[in-house]
Amino acid sequence: MSQPTTLDLVLQISQGALLVPLKKTAAILGLETQTVRNRLCEKRFQLDPVKIGSRNFFRVSDIAQLIDASAMKESTPTRGRPRKSSKVAK
């Protein structure tokens, strides 16, 4: 049996809905609701909301793409002197 894709998992969490409300989107991404609101207000959130009335919703496909993109991102080296644990690991 094949592994479920990120899109399948997000669809399962959203119970089949194609648009996910802000609160549930924050929970899926592991962020606080207010953090998502702040980033939306500052135009720093990676997802474009779909406004229905006064509420913000997000597309399931966009959420899955964001999760996949952040998983593929390489870790950036930290500034300063390397830690001893990283030296021992080599």
In a domain, 23, yes or no: yes
In a domain, 88, yes or no: no
CA dihedral angle for residue 12, residue 14, residue 18, residue 19, rounded to 10 degrees: -160
Which range (11-15, 29-33, 82-86) has the least confidence? 82-86
pLDDT digits (tens, 9 = 90+) for 65-83: 999 988 776 667 778 887 7
Task: Please give the structure tokens belonging to residue 22.
Answer: 């802000």
DSSP code of residue 45 = -
pLDDT above 70 (res 1): no
pLDDT above 70 (res 24): yes
CA dihedral angle for residue 34, residue 40, residue 41, residue 43, rounded to 10 degrees: 140
Question: pLDDT value at position 81?
Answer: 85
Collapse the DSSP code of 53 into the 3-class scheme (helix H, G, I; strand E, B; otherwise coil) and give the result.
coil
Q: Structural domain of residue 54, as residue ranges?
A: 6-72
- Which range has highest mean pLDDT (1-5, 62-66, 74-78)? 62-66
The CATH number of residue 12's host domain is: 1.10.1660
In a domain, 79, yes or no: no
